[in-house]
Amino acid sequence: MTGTQTVPESHPRAESLLVRERLIGGFAGGLVAREGLLAHGRGEAFDYLLGERTESFARRAVRAAAAAMLLASSPVISVNGNVAALCPREIADMAAACGAAVEVNLFYADDGRGERIAQVLEGAGMRNILGTDQSSRGILPGIDSARRSVDRNGILAADLVVVPLEDGDRTDALKAAGKNVIALDLNPLSRTAQAADITIVDNVVRSAGLLAKSCRDMAGTDVHILEEIVGGYDNAATLSDAILHIEGHLRGRASRA
Ligand code: PTJ
C-alpha cells in the first residue's frame, strides 16, 4: 500500500514524504514521467542541503522575478509533469496575477501526457493552456530535445519565460532567442540555474506560491520602481549566496557532529 495513510503525521520527515506522495500520485495518474521521480530525488537532496527553508537569497530572487513578470509584455509559464503534480494551483495563481500564459512543455514528450497535464491545469482554474495544439506548433532553435517543440503564440513569441524545475538544455536556447528566463531550481549549480536571468533557489512547493503572492502584492506598482528592482538584482550574487549557504549549513552540522 502506498499513499498518505502510510505517512504518520508524527514522522519527522512527514512533510517531505507527503510531497513525495503527490509526485507518486502524479506518476500513477500519467502526469509525471518515470524520470521525474528521479529528478525529484535530486531536488530533495539539494533541499536537504539547503535546510528545507526559503532563505533570503530566494526571497530576493522572488521579488525580482515578480517585478520582471509584471514588466513583461508576453510572459509565459512553462509547465512539465513534475510541476503539474506538485503545484498546479500556485501556477494558476501566478498566471492570473501577472497575466501570463501557461504552456505545457515536456522533455519526455509521449502518449497523451501533455493533454493530461493540460486537463489538470484546467482543473486548477486555468484556461487556454498552450502546448498541445499541433496546428500552432513552432520550433525553438538551438535545442535537440522534445522541448524544442513550442507554441508559436506562447513560448516562441514570449519576452519572458518562467521555467520551474527542469533539465538544463533549454535556458541557453531561450536566452539565445532573446528571452528573459526565470528559473525555479533547488540546484544552484545546475545549467538552468546558472544560465537564467533570475534563479529562485528553493523548492517549487514553497517558491511557486511565494512568487504568485509577490506578483499579486506588486501588481499596480509604478513601472519605474519595478525596473529599479529588476535593475538592482544580481543573479550571480544570488547563486553565490546559495552555494555559500549550503557550505555554512554543512559546516554547522559538522561542528555539532
Ligand atoms: O515532464 P518532463 O517530460 O518535462 O520531464 C521533467 C523532468 C523534471 C523529468 C526533466 O526536466 C528532468 O529530467 O529534469 P532534471 O535534469 O532531473 O532536472 C531537474 C532539476 O530540477 C534539477 O536541478 C533538480 O535539482 C531540480 N528540482 C527537482 N525537484 C525540485 C527541483 N527544483 C525545485 N523544486 C523541486 N521540487
Out of 17, 42, 163, mutate this one to test ligand 1's pocket (max ligand atoms within 8 Å of CB): namely 42
Rounded to the nearest angstrom, the distance between the alpha carbon of 167 and the centre of ligand 1 is 6
Rounded to the nearest angstrom, the distance between the alpha carbon of 36 and the centre of ligand 1 is 6
End-to-end CA distance of the chain: 36
Rounded to the nearest angstrom, the distance between the alpha carbon of 183 and the centre of ligand 1 is 11
199-231 in b/e form (b: 16+ CB < 10 A) is: bbbbbbbbbbbbbbbbbeebeeeeeeebeebbe
Q: Hey, what's the cell of 228?
A: 529599479
Round to whole Å and give the CA distance between 191 and 129.
27
80 lines ligand 1 (CB under 6 A): yes
- Position 167 scores a pLDDT of 84
pLDDT tens digits for the chain (257 residues)? Answer: 445 567 677 766 768 888 999 999 999 999 999 999 999 999 999 999 999 999 999 999 999 999 999 999 999 999 999 999 999 999 999 999 999 999 999 999 877 999 999 999 999 999 899 999 999 999 999 999 999 999 999 999 999 999 999 888 899 999 999 999 999 999 999 999 999 999 999 999 999 999 999 999 999 999 999 999 999 999 999 999 999 999 999 999 999 76
Cα angle for residues 125, 201, 206 (degrees, 5° grid): 40
- Position 1 scores a pLDDT of 43
Q: Using an 8 Å Cβ cutoff, are 147 and 108 in contact? A: no
Rounded to the nearest angstrom, the distance between the alpha carbon of 29 and the centre of ligand 1 is 18
- Position 98 scores a pLDDT of 95
Round to whole Å and give the CA distance between 86 and 103.
16
151 lines ligand 1 (CB under 6 A): no
Provide the pairing of β-strand 180-184 with 198-200.
Answer: parallel
pTM of the model: 0.95
Quick one: CA dihedral 198, 201, 204, 206, positive or negative? Answer: negative
Closest C-alpha residue for ligand 1 atom 16: 167
The label of the residue with cell 503525521 reads 9
Q: Using an 8 Å Cβ cutoff, are 204 and 56 in contact? A: no
Backbone φ, ψ for residue 53 (5° rounding): -140, 155
166 lines ligand 1 (CB under 6 A): yes
Rounded to the nearest angstrom, the distance between the alpha carbon of 253 and the centre of ligand 1 is 27
Rounded to the nearest angstrom, the distance between the alpha carbon of 165 and the centre of ligand 1 is 4
**Ligand 1 atom nearest to CA at 205:** 36
Rounded to the nearest angstrom, the distance between the alpha carbon of 255 and the centre of ligand 1 is 32
- Position 5 scores a pLDDT of 64
33 lines ligand 1 (CB under 6 A): yes
Q: Using an 8 Å Cβ cutoff, are 175 and 181 in contact? A: yes
Rounded to the nearest angstrom, the distance between the alpha carbon of 173 and the centre of ligand 1 is 17
Out of 20, 22, 117, 185, mutate this one to test ligand 1's pocket (max ligand atoms within 8 Å of CB): namely 185
Cα dist from 120 to 35, 104, 114, 115, 189, whole Å: 20, 11, 10, 9, 31
